[in-house]
Structure 1
Amino acid sequence: MRRIKIIFILSLFSQLIFAQVKTTDELYQTAKKLDSLVFNEGFNKCNPSHYNDIISNDLEFYHDIGGVTNGKEAFIASVKNNICSVPGKVKRELVPGSMKVYPLYSNKTLYGFIQEGDHQFFENNKGKWNKTGQAKFTHLWISDHNQWKLKRVLSYDHH
């Protein structure tokens, strides 16, 4: 019985250590800001000029419909050629309350975080935004010389 109690307590403790951060946490707010830079600025406003600062050179982007995109340059070209070929035609919105952020530590030092959530996509048709789909995403952000870089992306469950 004592062994079961110890296992239960360790299980609860490990969940607390690896739990998502609160929405009021500084790391959550950082993730929210980075999300806005990737999507609101780069995707919705077609202004990817800051991508050089926040996208890792060796980015790997896995999309369940579009396949794999490797590298920062290929990702930027894809946004410019696909999403931004007609600026203001499409937009992405984060589903309210869906974003979760999980810190990653090595020797008690924060080296990265996982950001996950749901997002919706819309298309502008004669001034009216029509929802065209929804999907899930998982992002791996890594601290590189005190600068957050988007390193891995999973975009899946598009419907």
Structure 2
Amino acid sequence: MRKIQILVLLILSQIAYSQVKTTDELYKTAKKLDSLIFDIGFNKCDLSHYPSIVSDDLEFYHDKGGITSGEKAFTASIKNNICGNPNKVKRELVPNSMKVYPLYKDNVLYAFIEEGEHDFAELNNGKWKKGSRAKFTILWILDGKDWKMKRVLSYDHHL
């Protein structure tokens, strides 16, 4: 039993160790990218920067909405379903839920995983009404000097 406890502690410490700190530059980059996708794009409907941060071969998997493939389809989906909907939706990152995990090849950073939870609210008759909470995982890939959102999982939506 003692060996199992030690093994679990080692695994948990490794998981905690691989996550970057909120003061780390990569975490700040992830926070900025998250804001560009959601605060600026999703919430304010300014999608002009999406082509520069969303991969052409994006795969977005949503537990309620299915699969969206490619930057153009993703941008159109946000434009038509979020920004073009009279019942506006907004997204808020759940405080302290975001975690960032760097990915290296030969000691060179090539990607990172961002995961967390977010809350959604809907604007009905001029008032925001609490909607669902969901989990998300985003794979960001370094493309030259630019970060691109490559793969997204949005799941466990519940009220």
- Residue type of the alignment partner of 2:72: E
Partner of 1:110: 109
- Residue type of the alignment partner of 2:123: N
Q: Distance in 2 between matches of 1:123 and 1:97?
A: 23
Relative distance call for 1:130 and 1:16 in structure 2 (3 A) is: closer
Alpha carbons 2:139, 2:151 under 8 Å: kept = yes
Q: How does 1:48-87 map onto structure 2 within 5 Å? A: 48-86=47-85
**Identity rate, percent:** 67
Structure 1 residue 95 displacement after superposition: 0.1
1:46 matched to 2:58: no
Equivalent pairs counted in the alignment come to 152
Uncovered stretches (5+) of structure 1, i.e. residues with no partner: none
Q: Distance in 2 between matches of 1:132 and 1:44?
A: 14
1:20 matched to 2:19: yes
Q: Distance in 2 between matches of 1:126 and 1:155?
A: 27
Structure 1 residue 126 displacement after superposition: 2.9
Structure 1 residue 88 displacement after superposition: 7.7
Q: Specify the SS of the correspondent of 1:122.
A: strand
Partner of 2:130: 131
Q: Taking structure 1 as the reference length, what is the TM-score of the superposition?
A: 0.89
| Greater CA drift, 51-60 or 15-24 | 15-24
Q: Taking structure 2 as the reference length, what is the TM-score of the superposition?
A: 0.89
Relative distance call for 1:90 and 1:145 in structure 2 (3 A) is: same
Structure 1 residue 89 displacement after superposition: 1.6
Structure 1 residue 129 displacement after superposition: 1.3
Cα-to-partner distance string for 1:32-57 (whole Å, 9 max, x where unaligned): 00000000011000011000100000
